[in-house]
Chain A
Amino acid sequence: MFKKNRHAGLSLLVIIFAALCLPIIIAAGIAQAHGVELEYVERNAIEVTARYDTEDPMAGAQVAVFAPDSPAEPWLTGTCDSAGRFFFVPDPEIPGLWEVQIRHAGHGGLLRIEVDESGISPAGTTGFTGPQKLLMTAAVIWGLVGTALYFSRRRS
């Protein structure tokens, strides 16, 4: 099934370049011609860009989007464009962790995106890294030590 087109040592790099404020414009205003009625709405869309670790775009990669209420069945499927990009608009009425699976050339990855009524944020990037935690801990300790020294000096 996955026999062809495998890239060794490649790990999928999936980056959200812009999750918000990508207006999907179907048409400007309303136009009528030959019985066709066109209109547009603005929606917040997610743009996913997928690359191999060689920086080559995953052009034509298969994309499957899974909604939180149905993790086994794709809510949407599609393919990345020639730049490895894929756009979709999650249903705001299905809040939770949306998953985007991208596969091509025998390798793939999974991107998680937290969606709620107030907006979209990439899952897994809201926490702090180990070095960040260490730095914050050191800063807090230093602050407390300084405070202790300050009050100690005043008493003496």
Chain B
Amino acid sequence: MKKYGLIIVVMLLLVSVLFMSGCNNEDMLANGDETTADPAETGTLVFTADGEEFIREGFLSKDGWELSFDQAYVTMGGITAYQTDPPYDTGQGWDIDYQVKVELDGIHSVNLADPTNDPAVLEELAEVPAGHYNAISWEMLRASEGPSSGYSLFLVGQAEKGGEVVDFTLGIEQEVAYLGGDYIGDERKGIVTPNGIADLEMTFHFDHLFGDGEEDLDDPLNQEALGFEPLAVLAVDGALEVDLAYLEKAFSAEDYELLLSILTHLAHVGEGHALARFIN
């Protein structure tokens, strides 16, 4: 009896230690320095979104449709930038340990097809703690108002192939959460110096959706892209107005699953892939 009592005591001690170590980790996550920065050690962080030249200037889909876009609305919320040390890497999954976290309030809907949105500036946050914001998370949410109301992603444009023209409207209702690491691109981003200004970008790669006709058809990009042809065949008298609910019935199961999968590969931080998971 005494023996079992001793075992139980040891086990309880161990569980307590493990529990406390877990709590400490949670405390660290919750205690990011969000509001107590020394004003002399603060700067401005500008949050931007970019659809790149693909969406602003149009491009050739993998199946030969010349695409141009009048609207490409993306609606984002829960935008949060992090300073992480050691630096966060998407290989770690969704658990992110951070020292500093700043959040951008509100819902932001932007038209990435607007040629002036190179990139689109969502908002500036002043007096954020200086340092390297090397991770960012956001959610692509259904808009509650505006041209893209009801959709998290809303594309309006024209597709042309061999003299055939399709005016298309594609609405995506699915909401998606994204988490990315450091910006990968021509320049470093997110490095806020005292009294300085830096930007941090959420990047959307639309060639993942339609493919890139300038690449080989067997290029992995094109093999994993939907293209435009599956949409074009649904057009009536040169017009196509569809959303995800419609496509679930109209598409083959394979194409519909592919479209859902592409939504998880759409977002990047520059050229660095972001993690994605469906919400709602």
Contacts and interface: CB of A to CB of B under 8 A. Distances in A.
Contacts of B219: 7-8
B192 to A, nearest CB: 11
Dominant SS among interface residues on chain B: mixed
Contacts of A32: none
B86 A8 contact: no
- Bin chain A's interface residue count: 35 or more
Nearest to B211: A8
B224 A8 contact: yes
Interface in A7-23: 7-11
Given A54-B220, A103-B185, A148-B7, A156 B271 contact: no
B271 A112 contact: no
B182 A110 contact: yes
A117 B58 CA distance: 51
A7 B220 contact: yes
Contacts of B270: 108
Interface string A81-113: 000000000000000010101010011111010
Given A7-B219, A103-B184, A153 B132 contact: no
A155 interface: yes
Contact of B215 (A6, A99, A123, A145): A6
Given A1-B52, A66-B188, A8 B132 contact: no
B259 to A, nearest CB: 13
B116 to A, nearest CB: 16
Interface stretch (B10-18, B103-111, B145-153, B165-173): B10-18
B225 interface: yes
Interface in B88-127: 89
B2 A6 contact: no
Contacts of B59: 3
B212 interface: yes
A66 B87 CA distance: 14
Contacts of B184: 101, 103, 107-110
Contacts of A71: 132, 188, 191
Interface string B62-104: 0000000000000000000000001101000000000000000
Which 10 pairs between the two chains have the least Cβ-Cβ distance? A8-B221, A152-B3, A8-B224, A108-B184, A108-B271, A3-B53, A9-B224, A72-B188, A7-B221, A7-B220
18 contacts: A6-B208, A7-B219, A9-B221, A9-B224, A99-B87, A103-B271, A106-B221, A106-B271, A110-B184, A110-B272, A112-B86, A123-B87, A124-B87, A124-B89, A141-B14, A145-B10, A145-B11, A149-B7
Interface of B: 2-3, 6-7, 10-11, 14, 18, 52-54, 57, 59, 86-87, 89, 132, 181-182, 184-188, 191, 205, 207-208, 211-212, 214-215, 219-225, 265, 270-273
